[in-house]
Amino acid sequence: MLSLNVATQIDIVQLRDLAVSAFAEDETYRPDGIDDGDPPGLDTIEKHEGWLHSKTYLKCTKNGDLVGSCILQIDGENGVLFGLHVGQQHMNTGIGSWIINKIQRMFPQVSTWTLETPDYATRNHHFYKKNGFTLMQITPKDPSIGFGFHKYTKRTQQGACSLRKGPRGLSATLESPSARSRFS
């Protein structure tokens, strides 16, 4: 059984190891001339401790074992997915998609999710598109790290629709947290 809970300081080393494991296969796709293909800081305890204290850091366990994690920042109707990591031995089992669906249910007020992933991480591009994200931008390569990013977005909240019968026939009102529009 999968569960998603807030990570704690006790989890930091395992979370770091899991994140590094999640990018292990991407090493084969990294651009030439780059010593480390991981996103900057991914392999440091300090970076994960920073995320633990400044973001919402969640751990995914399966029968008590750590199998995934995600790092989020929620600001009203906007959510940023800073990291989604699934341990290499658990990839292609549906855990990543489960985490995305679970965080959308945990934060129903978020109507727009954004994220970025390294340009060379082609598995990630397929995964995010499969989970409803749309590619919005490809950044140029950053000379300091040797690669660019693909930026994705996903709109998740369609709002509630109510039908009413009025003097001119049926009308539908679409209500969402960010906008209201009326169709007749």
Domain ranges of the chain: 2-158
pLDDT band at 165 (very low <50, low <70, confident <90, very high): very low
Q: What is the mean pLDDT of residues 39-65?
A: 91
Mean pLDDT of 124-129: 95
Closest residue by Cα to residue 178 from 154, 163, 157, 162: 157
**What distances in angstroms separate CA 74 from CA 15, 71, 96, 144, one per listed residue?**
20, 10, 19, 29
- Check pLDDT > 70 for residue 147: yes
Task: Give the pLDDT mean for 40-50.
Answer: 87
158 dihedral zone (left: phi>0; alpha: psi -120 to 50; beta): alpha
Closest by CA to 83, choosing from 53, 109, 48, is 48
Band of residue 167 on the pLDDT scale cut at 50, 70, 90: low
Residue 25 pLDDT > 70, yes or no? yes
> What is the CATH number that goes with domain 2-158?
3.40.630.30
Q: What is the mean pLDDT of residues 116-132?
A: 92
- 3-state SS class at 24: coil
| Residue 179 in this model has a pLDDT that exceeds 50 | no
More confident residue, 61 or 164: 61
In total, the chain counts a number of residues equal to 184
The SS3 call for residue 163 is strand
Residue 182, pLDDT above cutoff 50:
no
- How many degrees, rounded to 5, is the angle at CA 45 between CA 52 and CA 59? 45
pTM of the model: 0.80
What confidence tier does 145 reach under pLDDT thresholds 50, 70, 90? confident
Q: How far is CA 34 from the centre of its chain?
A: 25
